[in-house]
Amino acid sequence: MNNEEMKPVISVAQMRAADAYTIGKGTPSKELMHRAAQGVFDAYDGWQNKRTLVICGSGNNGGDGYALASIMKDHGYDVELLLVSDKFSEDGRYYYDICIEKQVPVHQCSGSLNYGIVDFSQYNVFVDCIFGTGFAGVPREPAASVIKEINRQRRERVVYVISVDINSGMNGDTGEAELAVASDLTVSIGYYKHGFFKGSAAELIGNLVNVDIGIELPE
């Protein structure tokens, strides 16, 4: 874990409140999403000469992935998207449309994972943007099969897995997980959450860093 800064460890509810507070004070939510994506981009120095698959869910965690793919495309890196949902948050849709304009290749799955849609063995880096810190319970299809496939690839060959904000499938408050992505690097956004230090977190998270994107806790 990177201890370069001493920041409070907060709950998922506190994080939601801090997001709303920061946006209410005048920082647009799209700007926060871009900052988060830039933070993830800067946290890893191995993008070059790799083929990256950014895997996105329906919420703002998926939006972080679209914003990241856009930044990677601007740098000329080999990046593609896999969508596990056909739904978007408002900000997620904004950055998805930018990816389409920049001609980022897009794959989509529905139901259980269709291996004809995307060949996971062709990628060196997987970026997990499926579920955010608010997730609780057990992942359903198609996300469940995608998570299992990410973990299988990591077990069986040399790949690098990055989870954005939290490992998808892990509870942000308790660290509990029945099925979750195992990462080499987890990039926490804003503040560390309690779940990073409880439950299954130690088994699921390789390295943990936090990215400060200017989110303020309510006074």
Domain range annotation of the chain: 29-211
Render pLDDT for 59-90 as a digit per residue (tens, 0 to 9).
Answer: 999 999 999 999 999 999 999 999 999 899 99
The candidate with the shortest Cα–Cα distance to 141, out of 183, 170, 169, 107, is 169
Q: CB–CB of 92/69 below 8 Å?
A: no
The encoded tokens of residue 112 equal: 């259980």
Q: CB–CB of 1/210 below 8 Å?
A: no
147 φ, ψ (degrees, to nearest 5): -60, -45
Three-class SS state of 129: strand
Give CA–CA dist 118/123, Å, rounded: 10
Three-class SS state of 186: strand
- At 5 the pLDDT is 52
Render pLDDT for 78-124 as a digit per residue (tens, 0 to 9).
Answer: 999 999 998 999 999 999 999 999 999 999 886 554 544 689 999 99
The candidate with the shortest Cα–Cα distance to 189, out of 4, 12, 57, 47, is 12
Contacts of 211 (CB under 8 A, 6+ apart): 35, 36, 39, 40, 42, 43, 187, 188, 189, 190
Q: Model-level pTM?
A: 0.94
Where does 29-211 sit in CATH, by number? 3.40.50.10260
Strand 160-164 relative to strand 125-129, pairing: parallel
- At 109 the pLDDT is 81
Report the mean per-residue pLDDT for the chain. 93
Amino acid at 187: V
The candidate with the shortest Cα–Cα distance to 187, out of 24, 18, 45, is 45
Render pLDDT for 18-40 as a digit per residue (tens, 0 to 9).
Answer: 999 999 999 999 999 999 999 99
Render pLDDT for 171-201 as a digit per residue (tens, 0 to 9).
Answer: 999 999 999 999 999 999 999 999 999 999 9
Query: Which contacts qualify for 169-172: CB closer than 8 Å, 24 or more apart?
Result: 169/130, 169/131, 169/135, 169/138, 169/139, 169/143, 170/135, 170/195, 170/199, 170/200, 170/201, 170/204, 171/135, 171/136, 171/195, 171/199, 172/11, 172/12, 172/15, 172/132, 172/133, 172/134, 172/135
